[in-house]
Amino acid sequence: MSRWMPWLQAAPLALVLAVFLVVPMAMLVVVSFYDYDSFSLIPDFVLTNYREVFSSWVTWQTYLKTLWFAGLTWAITLLLGFWLAYFLAFVVRDPTWRMLLFVLTTVPFWTSNLIRMIAWIPFLGRNGILNNTLIGLGAIDRPLEFLLFSDFAVILAFVHLYTLFMVVPVFNTMMRIDHRLLEAARDAGAGFWQTLWCVILPLCKPGIGIGSIFVVVLVMGDFATVRLMSGGQSASVGLMISNQIGLMQYPAAAANAVVLLAMVLLLVAAMLRAIDIRKEL
Amino acid sequence: MPGRAARLLLGALFAAFLLFLYGPTITIAILSFQGPDGGLTFPMNGVSTVWFTRLFQPQAVGDLGAAMRRTLALAAMVTACTVVVSLAAGMAFRRRFAGSGALFYLTLASLIVPSILVSLGIGLLFTLMEWEPAWYSSAFGAQLTWTLPFGLLIIFAVFNRFDRSWEEAARDLGATPWQGFRHVVLPIIAPGVVGIALFGFTLSFDEFARTLLTAGSGNTLPLEILGMTTTVTTPVLYALGTVSTALSFLVIGGALLGVRLLRRRRGA
């Protein structure tokens, strides 16, 4: 009995993942080779869906744009998240304050991403708060058009939504750094930047790795942020897939999905090679 | 330690970040009380609750009451299932068993696969099998692939800090494995279990990408909001956002309060 216990306990998890993850992903691969017309799926083995993905310049551009979104968001959230975590872990001395400020950065996690995107409309619109303030101050005489429904708005929303995914793991690893190491570095004559570069940064790597995986994966698979914040002016692979779904072109969507999945898995594998996160799990 | 000026600079950065984080959400909460002639941005054109009342009239959006009930029911199902399944799996992972490594990596993969692909895959599965997708079947499963990895990672963190000698003491005193779990392990890990429940609830309550193609004919609340973003240009949108945020905080706050009361009663 007790020999079978672990299998029995793990069985529900395995079953759910098998039915709702493994089989659906296999389904994507199968359907990506199907043929289709405007009414139905035609079971077949054709390569046209993939040929369309790789032969269209627009599709290439969309993939590059998605990578660009992911790269830029990653760079900003990493820079911002690192210093915010640094402030919490090393500058704030009082544990109660530190806890309070940490909780404050995590509260938005419990609210809807969609609503946090919508919340930018009154700020960035043509007659929004930012434009009106700038005009009131005399800094500009015409409303800035690029604020809403642009790549700027998309990146802003990504940073707004996902910085906390970077702050939390980096903060966690920073809190585990033995402060005697920092003292030792100072005694050995290291300045602030040297300590940061040679002691703190290497020890934070696992946290940075986890945060980076979260941010990159979330941005790569996004469709709603790009649709909402760019107002249909920009594209991402996720949005392209969701548009193809809307047009009932399931095999085309599936082919893009398989390519996107391969890309995301490769990116994650590359990050795992660069940074060992196992110590954190 | 950085110098005084650098510390102040970092403090200013943090304060600016909090403003950046909360400013927009608070703004739409205020703007949802716009007067009847008010627009999508400031100035406030009077103060009223007209957008909230309009929200629940059938012509403004789809059947919002039904969507809300559906979302809460789904979130409750997902929460309960996430707690039970990840707790059981967490118990299993305390020992090494054949296939434990593979199952662990599969769980992590579930976290990495983009939501829209899970949605599409399950949608295709149900279409090809000629099953009827519905919020309580396909959407339920789609959300579990997102909440279970979080649940498992939390339970790992909990068991990492768990002192096994308590369990051994229970066994030495003649407790059956079930008694040991029920009376020793569960009370000790209870806060972690509440944490899993809160994660499960909030991830389900706000999820839209995984429900998009799997909810069938009945929309959930986030799907209603997603639909409204393209069609509605009045503060009704803000009112819906405010209601959804309030509802989510109400449940989370209620759960935390309940835990506190329970603990106080036990302590007394």
| Probe site for chain B from A67, A105, A115 (most B CB atoms < 10 A) | A115
SS (H, E, C) B57-108: CCCCCCCHHHHHHHHHHHHHHHHHHHHHHHHHHHHHCCCCCCCHHHHHHHHH
CB of A161 less than 8 A from some CB of B: no
Instruction: Based on DSSP, count helices (H) and strands (E) in chain A, helices before strands.
Output: 15, 2
Report the distance separating Cα A12 and Cα B83, nearest Å. 12
Residue type present at position B61: V
Listed as own residue / partner, the contacts of B183-186 with beta carbons closer than 8 Å and 24 or more positions apart are: none
Residues A107-150: tens digit of each pLDDT: 888 888 888 888 888 888 777 788 888 888 877 877 777 778 88
Interface of B with A in 149-208 (CB under 8 A): 152-153, 156, 177, 198, 202, 205-206, 208
Minimum Cα–Cα distance from A217: chain B residue: B112
Contacts of A153 in chain B (CB under 8 A): none
Residue A246 contacts residue A13 (beta carbons within 8 Å)? no
**Euclidean distance between CA atoms B108 and A281, whole angstroms:** 11
Given the structure tokens 């994650």, which residue do they identify?
A268
B102 lies within 8 A of chain A by CB:
no
C-alpha A148/C-alpha A126 separation (Å) is: 8
**Measured between beta carbons, which residues in chain B are less than 8 angstroms from residue A163?**
17
> SS3 sequence, A88-126?
HHHHCCCHHHHHHHHHHHHHHHHCCHHHHHHCCHHHHCC
Q: Which two three-digit tokens encode residue A71?
A: 């790269």
**Chain A residue nearest residue B236, CA to CA:** A118
Tens of pLDDT along chain B (268 residues) come to: 667 888 899 999 999 999 998 888 888 888 888 777 777 777 777 777 778 887 777 655 567 778 888 999 999 999 999 999 999 999 988 888 888 889 999 998 999 999 999 999 999 999 888 888 888 888 999 999 999 999 999 998 888 888 888 888 888 898 888 888 888 888 888 888 988 998 899 899 888 888 888 887 888 888 888 888 777 777 888 888 888 888 888 888 888 888 888 777 766 5
Residue count (chain A): 281
Token readout for B234 is 């009045």
How many residues appear in chain B? Answer: 268
Chain mean pLDDT for chain A: 88
Helices (H), B96-220: 100-112, 115-128, 140-160, 165-172, 177-180, 186-205
CA distances B60 to A274, B71, B157, B202, B207, Å, are: 51, 19, 45, 26, 22
Q: What letter would DSSP give residue A278? A: G
Side-chain half-sphere of A170: how many Cα atoms within 13 Å? 28
Comparing A27-31, A53-57, A108-112, which segment has the lowest mean pLDDT? A108-112
With CB atoms and an 8 Å threshold, state whether A110 touches B252. yes
Q: Which of B32, B116, B119, B167 to mutate to test the interface with A (most CBs of A within 10 A)?
A: B116
A239 Cβ contact list (under 8 Å, min separation 6): A222, A223, A226, A227
ipTM of the complex: 0.87
For A204-213, the pLDDT digits (tens) are 988 999 999 9
- A77 neighbors A67 (Cβ within 8 angstroms): no
**d(Cα A124, Cα A128) in Å, to the nearest integer?**
5
Minimal C-alpha gap between A125 and chain B (Å): 8
All residues of chain A having their beta carbon less than 8 Å from the beta carbon of residue B103 are: 10, 13-14, 17
Give how far the C-alpha of residue B208 lies from the chain's centroid of Cα atoms, to the nearest Å: 11
Q: Which of B119, B124, B110 is nearest to B220 (CA)?
A: B119
Tokens of residue B31, six digits: 């703007």
Contact between chains at B120 and A220 (C-beta distance less than 8 A) = no
CA distance A17 to B121: 13
CA atoms within 13 A on the CB side of B84: 10
Quick check: B233 and A101 in contact, CB under 8 A?
Answer: no
Query: Among partner residues B125, B128, B222, which is closest to A114 by beta-carbon distance?
Result: B222
Q: Of A163-167, A242-246, B29-33, which gets the smallest average pLDDT? A: B29-33
